[in-house]
Amino acid sequence: MSDFKELQEKLGIFFENETLLKQAFTHSSYVNEHRKKNLLDNERLEFLGDAVLELGVSQYLYREYNELEEGDLTKLRASIVCEPALVRFAETLDFSKYVLLGKGEEMTGGRNRPALLADVFEAFIGALYLDQGYDQVISFLRKYVYPEITTGAFSHTMDYKSQLQETVQQHKNRLVEYNIVDEKGPAHDREFFAVVTINGKTAGKGVGRTKKEAEQRAAKQALDALSH
């Protein structure tokens, strides 16, 4: 039996209704093998968690990325709530250890199947929302998901630096350079100011929580200017 007390201690989150937490980690194959126990699988919680997670991520992106247009926000959100990203979050938290699986599913490697882990992560969000409300979900995301966004883990989705390089390479002998020209704020809430130059002339400026983010935003401004 999975030790859900251990999981709660690890997360620093204690469920009022532990049955909800257990349900989040209960795969349909386990329910099918224990029909007499009247257990519920995690599929309905996954449905709810998917919507709550999408809202939590959307809210964060809307507030933090003022300069991004709707299309870019949608792309970035999609990269954060997609299966590979959810699997990574689940693996970071060692969620596979707590999944309740049927014997057949266990024997065929279900415990580490990406789709199953992504579903469990969403189901956990759904269970947390029902047990403790939206604010607690946001606290959880702030601890385990949002930092991944600010470190640029998803910047490949909108890799403006690569796009700018490709655009500039169409014209030979043009040099692209990035410089961090200023940084402000305390260590835990730093802001970096980047400038991108093409052949020594300023082509774009950007501000971000990390140097990478500031450079990406400078590159996007340069791309926007070049496309007009």
Q: Tell me how far apart the alpha carbons of residues 26 and 41 are, in angstroms, rounded to a whole number.
A: 5
Tokens of 94: 């060692």
Q: Which of 105, 119, 122, 215 is catalytic?
A: 122
Is residue 26 classed exposed, middle or buried when 0-12, 13-18 and 19+ CB atoms within 10 A define those classes? buried
Catalytic residue among 41, 46, 50, 215: 50
Q: For helices 43-64 and 114-132, give the axis angle rounded to 10 degrees.
A: 80
Asked if 50 is an active-site residue, the reply is yes
Which amino acid is located at 37 in the chain? Answer: K
Which pairs with CB-CB distance under 8 Å and at least 24 residues apart come from 5-13?
Answer: 7/98, 10/93, 10/94, 11/93, 11/140, 13/128, 13/132, 13/136, 13/140
Q: Is residue 122 annotated as part of the catalytic site, yes or no?
A: yes
Instruction: Please name the residues in contact with 50: beta carbons below 8 A apart, sequence gap of 6 or more.
Output: 81, 122, 125, 126
Cα diameter, the chain:
74
- Known catalytic residues are 50, 122
